[in-house]
């Protein structure tokens, strides 16, 4: 019983003890930064990720916060950013200050409301009042320092801080940062009166494990099994595979692909619930459309008319349109998912090898299908009319 209690206590600390268990207090460290005039900050914190530092003074009487955030961009013309997230310990929802160098050598800083991990960020108003902001670049260290005064409101004791570095900027829009290693750990809680900062608990990865599972499941289901099932249905007759054989293989591929895919879709919804109030991305919208169309396909099978039914032709048209729509949307969304996850190069290469193989196979089968079709057509056109009719009747019976 004692061991069980210790285990429960450990899990509770891991899941709910972010602030208490991970906080480390930094002693007061006045540091002078040159910004026209010399200014001394009350606290100097070496943050636990990306080699960044945060120095600040908190004025409790009026709730204002003077900060100096310093970090090195991921590339010479990249960006650095620091912000506060009023909604939780996550990147989405962060009210950020992002700084970078322009082509003329000057350094600028602006406010950005981080509403997505994948959409391009443009300068925008944020929910936190910013009285002043500036940035300087140090050529000796290659680092950028952001200076700002923010108004947080009185009686504020702690804030969720988030910081990042990126490698590119296009038309004042910071490019997507890395989604591995230290870039997933650059967040925590800042205790304003004491200067203490906290890091994420051990094993925290911004739900990265769940994201990886979501990605792998959807690649296997929508990206591999469903396309294989479509190719079997489209080309089995060409190679005179028995109807019951190819139909059952097709049905098994599509059924397992759908079941696995729906579980991946459900995980995606769960991941979306972690970012409440965030505008849904195109990846999420396409995922919902795919689920709806695929579900229609499943239920449509229950209403499939017999071969000689007058509505069979219309059912076939519907079945093909919806099926190919799912196939195209799945390919698009899998690629979007890869851009969001930004996995290691070996996983990208593996997926593109599989994708290229499936595409090459589909094209090859399509070419063979049409060659056989035109050969049959040419052969039938050279035969007497009675023999052609007889072959046509036989072919019709076999289908």
pLDDT in tens, 107-145: 999 999 998 765 668 899 999 999 999 999 999 999 999
- pLDDT of 32 strictly over 70: no
Domain boundary among 180, 198, 216: 198
Say how many CA atoms lie within 13 Å of 99 toward its Cβ.
26
DSSP 8-state symbol, 87: S
Count CB-CB contacts under 10 A for residue 232: 21
* Confidence band, pLDDT 50/70/90 cuts, at residue 384: low
| Any domain includes 4 | no
Residues in contact with 282: Cβ distance below 8 Å, sequence separation at least 6, in sequence order: 336
Mean pLDDT, the chain, whole residue set: 80
137 and 250 belong to one structural domain: no
27 and 138 belong to one structural domain: yes
165 and 272 belong to one structural domain: no
42 and 188 belong to one structural domain: yes
Question: Could you tell me which residue, 396 or 360, shows the higher pLDDT?
Answer: 360
How much of the chain, in percent, has pLDDT values that exceed 90?
31
* Confidence band, pLDDT 50/70/90 cuts, at residue 248: confident
246 and 187 belong to one structural domain: no
Answer whether 209's CB lies under 8 Å from 140's CB: no
Domain boundary among 145, 168, 198: 198
Q: What is the pLDDT of residues 307-365, one digit of tens each?
A: 888 888 888 899 889 989 999 999 899 888 887 776 777 777 888 888 889 889 889 88
Give the pLDDT of residue 74.
93
| Any domain includes 73 | yes
Domain CATH for 77: 2.60.40.1210
Give the pLDDT of residue 355.
84
Q: Exposure pattern of 233-260 as b/e (b: 16+ CB <10 Å)?
A: bbbbeeeeeeeeebeebbeebbeebbeb
| Any domain includes 45 | yes
| Any domain includes 303 | yes
| Any domain includes 15 | no
Give the pLDDT of residue 119.
60
66 and 191 belong to one structural domain: yes
Question: Could you tell me which residue, 308 or 26, shows the higher pLDDT?
Answer: 308
Domain CATH for 358: 1.20.120.1770
165 and 244 belong to one structural domain: no
Domain boundary among 198, 218, 249: 198
- pLDDT of 306 strictly over 60: yes
76 and 184 belong to one structural domain: yes
| Any domain includes 10 | no
Domain assignment of residue 285, given as a range: 208-398
Average pLDDT (227-237) is 86
Q: What is the pLDDT of residues 71-103, one digit of tens each?
A: 999 998 999 999 999 888 788 889 999 999 998
Domain count for the chain, please give it.
2
| Any domain includes 114 | yes
175 and 215 belong to one structural domain: no
143 and 253 belong to one structural domain: no
- Range with lowest mean pLDDT among 33-47, 101-115, 381-395: 381-395
> Pairing mode, if any, of strands 37-40 and 158-166?
unpaired
35 and 150 belong to one structural domain: yes
């Amino acid at each position: 019983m004692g061991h069980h209690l210790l285990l429960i206590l450990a899990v509770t600390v891991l899941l709910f003890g972010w602030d208490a268990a991970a906080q480390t207090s930094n002693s007061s460290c006045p540091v002078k930064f040159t910004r026209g005039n010399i200014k001394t900050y009350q606290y100097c914190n070496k943050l636990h990720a990306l080699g960044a530092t945060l120095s600040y003074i908190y004025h409790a009487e009026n709730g204002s916060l003077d900060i100096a955030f310093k970090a090195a961009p991921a590339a010479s013309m990249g960006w650095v950013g620091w912000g506060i997230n009023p909604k939780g310990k996550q990147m989405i929802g962060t009210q950020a200050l992002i700084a970078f160098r322009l082509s003329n050598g000057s350094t600028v800083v602006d406010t950005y409301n981080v509403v997505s991990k994948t959409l391009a960020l443009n300068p925008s108003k944020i929910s936190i009042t910013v009285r002043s902001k500036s940035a300087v670049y140090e050529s000796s260290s290659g680092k950028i320092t952001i200076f700002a005064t923010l108004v947080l409101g009185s009686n504020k004791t702690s804030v969720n801080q988030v910081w990042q570095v990126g490698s590119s900027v296009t038309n004042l829009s910071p490019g997507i940062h890395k989604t591995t290693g230290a870039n997933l750990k650059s967040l925590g809680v800042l205790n304003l009166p004491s200067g203490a900062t906290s890091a994420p608990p051990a094993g925290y990865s911004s739900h990265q494990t769940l994201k990886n599972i979501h990605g792998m499941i959807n690649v296997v289901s929508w990206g591999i099994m469903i396309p294989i099932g479509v190719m079997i249905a489209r080309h089995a007759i060409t190679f005179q595979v028995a109807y019951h054989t190819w139909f059952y293989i097709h049905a098994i591929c599509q059924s397992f692909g759908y079941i696995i895919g729906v579980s991946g879709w459900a995980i995606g919804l769960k991941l979306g619930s972690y970012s409440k109030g965030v505008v849904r991305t195109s990846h999420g919208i396409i995922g919902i459309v795919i689920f709806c169309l695929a579900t229609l396909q499943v239920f449509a099978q229950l209403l499939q008319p017999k071969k000689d039914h007058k509505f069979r032709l219309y059912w076939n048209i519907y079945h093909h349109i919806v099926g190919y729509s799912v196939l195209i949307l799945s390919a698009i969304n899998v690629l979007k998912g890869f851009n969001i996850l930004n996995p290691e190069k070996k996983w990208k290469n593996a997926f593109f090898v599989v994708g290229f193989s499936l595409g090459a196979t589909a094209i090859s089968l399509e070419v063979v299908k049409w060659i056989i079709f035109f050969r049959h057509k040419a052969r039938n056109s050279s035969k007497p009319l009675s023999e052609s009719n007889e072959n046509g009747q036989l072919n019709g019976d076999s289908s």
